[in-house]
Structure 1
Amino acid sequence: MTSIVIEKRFCGPPKSANGGYVCGLLAAYIDGGAEITLLAPPPLDQRLDIMAGEYGVELRMEGTILAAGRRARVDVPEIPIIDLSEAADAVRRSRHDQSRHPLPTCFVCGPGRVHGDGLRIIPGPLPSRPDQQTRTVAAPWVPYANLANEGGSVASEFIWAALDCPTGYAAVGAQHLGMTGSETILLGRMSAHIERRPSPGDRCVIAAWPTGRDGRKLFANSALLGSDGKILAVARATWLLVDRQVQLGEG
C-alpha cells in the first residue's frame, strides 16, 4: 500500500482533484495501457491510499473506493494530425476565458491559473476539413520544467491530465449530439496509453474530438502529438452530465 496526498494545486473543481491527474497517478501502478474508473470525487489535502484491488489497483480513503484501475488495450483510430500553428489558431477561437469558464482554477484548463502553475491547456475548435473528426478541438502545449520526473521526461500523471480536459471540451461542444456547450460534466472513466513521453520545453499539440453519446454519458477521444506530428499518447474518456452543484462538490 502507498499513501498519497493530492495538493490543492492539482484541483479540477475547487474541492476535488482533477480527474485526469488522478487517473494518471493510479495508472503509474499498471503496466502498459490502463483504464481508470472514477467512483467518487477524490478530495484534496487528505491522505489517500493506493492498494491492490480485486481486478487491479484502487484509490481509497478510509475504506471508500474512490477510483479503480486495470490494464487495458487502448485503441484510438483515425487520429487527426494537427500542426502547432493550427492549434494556436484554435485557441484564439475558444470562448472559455476566465469570465466564462465553468472551472477557472482547474489545474489543466483553468484560465485563472498562472503560467508555470496550471497547464493552461484551453482548446478551441478547428475549422471543419475532410480529414478531421467532427468538432475537433486543439491547443498547443509546451510542458514546464516542474512537470518532469526523475528521468527528465514529463511525468505520466501530467500527460494523462493534459489528455483529459480537452475531451470534455470536445464532448460538450458536440452540437450534432445535442450539446450546447454550456452543460456541466464530470469525468467518469478514462483510458490512456503513452507511447513516448515528451520532455519539458517540447512543443506539443493536444487534439480531442467527440465520439458519441448514450443518455447522460458523453464519449470523446484525444491525442498528444509531437511537433513532428508523431503520436505520443492517446486517450478515451467517458464524461457524465451532472448538475452544477454536483460538479462543484456541493450536492
Structure 2
Amino acid sequence: MTLHAPPPLDTDLQLHQHEDGLQLKHGEQLLASARPYTFDMEIPAAPSLQEAEEAQQRFVGVRHDLPGCFVCGTNRDAGDGLRIFAGEVCEHQERVAALWQPAADLADADGNVASEYLWAALDCPGFFAVKPVSDMALLGRYSARLEQSVQAGETLIVSAWAISHDGRKHNAGSALFRSDGQRVACAEATWISLKR
C-alpha cells in the first residue's frame, strides 16, 4: 500500500479496482493504492519476553510528536488504543521491541484479533526503529503479511528493525511473535523524513 494523501477520519471512502490492485479515494482524490507484494526481507529472531519488556522501558516517544496516535500515543489511556511503546533492544540502536496483549474488544466472536489491529501493531514500531536517523517521519509505503490468527489476551512480542536509509527515505521491518518466538505477522515500511 502506498499513501498518496492523508485519509480523512469519520468519512465514507471509496475502494476501486485498478489494474492489478486497488485504489482508495475520497471523491476524485486518490488517497492510497495497493497491489500484491512479495516479501524479500530477512526477519531477525524474536527478542525474548524479558528483552521486550526491558526495551519498552526505553521508549523514546515520551515527548511524542503525535500523542494521540492509536498505536503508540502517550495520551491514550489503558483500553483506548493499542499502547505499544517499543524501545531500543539492549545495545541495538536501530532495533526496538515491546510486549502487547490485545484487548478483548479488538477481537471477533471467535476471539481472534481483527486484522486491522494486527496491521496497526506492526506500523509504529517500524518508525521508532528508524527514528535515530530519520527524526520525525511519516509513513509512505506499507506492506504486511498475516500468517496466523491471534487470540485476544495473548502476550505478543512486537519487534522492529531498520533495514536501510537513503536520504529522506527509511525502510523498516517489523514482526509480531508469540511468547515462544513463533512469528504470526510481519511488515515492511518506508518512512519519509519531514523537512523541518
Asked if 1:152 corresponds to 2:117, the answer is no
The corresponding residue for 1:226 is 178
Contact 1:134/1:210 (<8 A) preserved: no
CA distance in 1, matches of 2:71, 2:83: 6
Alignment RMSD (CA, Å): 1.5
- Structural mapping, 1:67-78, within 5 Å: 67-78=32-43
CA distance in 2, matches of 1:222, 1:50: 26
1:66 is paired with a residue whose SS is strand
- Structural mapping, 1:48-87, within 5 Å: 48-87=13-52
Distance 1:91 1:221, change over 3 A: same
CA distance in 1, matches of 2:3, 2:60: 28
1:71 is paired with a residue whose SS is coil
Distance 1:147 1:221, change over 3 A: same
The corresponding residue for 1:121 is 84
2:32 is paired with a residue whose SS is strand
Contact 1:134/1:209 (<8 A) preserved: no
CA distance in 2, matches of 1:53, 1:105: 33
Q: Among 28, 40, 44, which residue is 2:5 paired with?
A: 40
51-60 or 108-117, which deviates more:
51-60
Per-residue Cα deviation, 1:31-71 (whole angstroms, up to 9, x for no partner): xxxxx111111111111111212221111100111001111
The corresponding residue for 2:136 is 184
2:94 is paired with a residue whose SS is coil
Q: Which runs of 5+ in 1 are unaligned?
A: 1-35, 174-178, 245-251
Give 1:80 deviation, angstroms: 2.6
Compute the TM-score of the two structures, normalised by the length of structure 1: 0.74
CA distance in 2, matches of 1:76, 1:224: 15
Q: Which runs of 5+ in 2 are unaligned?
A: none
Contact 2:46/2:157 (<8 A) preserved: no
Distance 1:78 1:62, change over 3 A: closer
Compute the TM-score of the two structures, normalised by the length of structure 2: 0.94
Q: How many residues align?
A: 196
CA distance in 1, matches of 2:180, 2:136: 35
Distance 1:243 1:46, change over 3 A: farther
The corresponding residue for 2:70 is 107
Asked if 1:140 corresponds to 2:140, the answer is no
2:35 is paired with a residue whose SS is strand
Give 1:159 deviation, angstroms: 0.7
Amino acid at match of 2:85: I
Asked if 1:236 corresponds to 2:188, the answer is yes
Per-residue Cα deviation, 1:165-208 (whole angstroms, up to 9, x for no partner): 000000112xxxxx2x7x21110001111110211000001000
The corresponding residue for 2:155 is 203
Q: Among 119, 129, 145, which residue is 1:193 paired with?
A: 145
Percent of paired sites with the same residue: 44
